[in-house]
Amino acid sequence: MIDPPAVQTTISHHLLLCATPTKEKCCDPTTGIATWNELKRVIRELGLEKTNRPEGIVLRSKVDCLRICERGPVLVVWPDGIWYTDVTADKVEPIVQQHIVQQKPIRQWIYKMTPFRTMSSADE
Ligand code: FES
């Protein structure tokens, strides 16, 4: 029987990147794939996918559209609900280092903020 590691592991962040949209609305696919490849490299090199990371693992997903559809590549960081636009490959390492590792989002690159409701506010 195979253990499902994601179920047994704490998740610190989930990064969703619109990088290669099929309708090419927010960015050129060449730009997008460069950003996606850099995101994979940086997360791997910083050890953020290790299941024994005390803060939890960092998941990454390439998505088709995040419904911004301009100024791509678009990156949303959950659970913080912070959206970055114009995320070219050169911005990936600063975002991961400062936002994910140091817990200091890069304010000047934020497009919008949409935090989740907390359980207590959802019950109200
Ligand atoms: S196509 Fe990228 S956000 Fe919609």
CB of 65 closer than 6 angstroms to any ligand 1 atom? yes
Non-local CB neighbours of 48 within 8 Å, separated by 6+ positions: 12, 57, 58, 96, 100, 101
Distance (Å, whole) CA 46 – CA 2 = 27
Q: What integer pLDDT is reported at residue 23 of this predicted model?
A: 85
pTM listed for this prediction: 0.88
Distance (Å, whole) CA 81 – CA 71 = 18
CB of 33 closer than 6 angstroms to any ligand 1 atom? no
Strand 110-113 relative to strand 82-84: parallel, antiparallel, unpaired?
antiparallel
Ligand 1 atom closest to the CA of 66, numbered from 1? 3
Pull the structure tokens for residue 55: 């803060």
Q: Which helix (H) or strand (E) holds 93?
A: helix 89-95
Note whether 43 and 86 are within 8 A (CB): no
> What average pLDDT score do residues 32-58 get?
96
CB of 66 closer than 6 angstroms to any ligand 1 atom? yes
Separation of 123 CA from ligand 1 center, angstroms? 32
Q: What integer pLDDT is reported at residue 122 of this predicted model?
A: 55
Pocket test for ligand 1, best of 69, 76, 86 (most atoms within 8 A of CB): 69
**Which of 29-38, 51-60, 109-118 bottoms out in mean pLDDT, i.e. has the lowest?**
109-118
Question: Which tens digits make up the pLDDT trace of 51-73?
Answer: 999 999 999 999 999 999 999 99
Distance (Å, whole) CA 22 – CA 29 = 9
How many other C-beta atoms can be found within 10 angstroms of the C-beta atom of residue 82?
22
Preceding omega of 79 cis (within 30 degrees of 0): yes
Q: Which domains, from first to last, does the chain contain?
A: 5-116 (3.40.30.10)
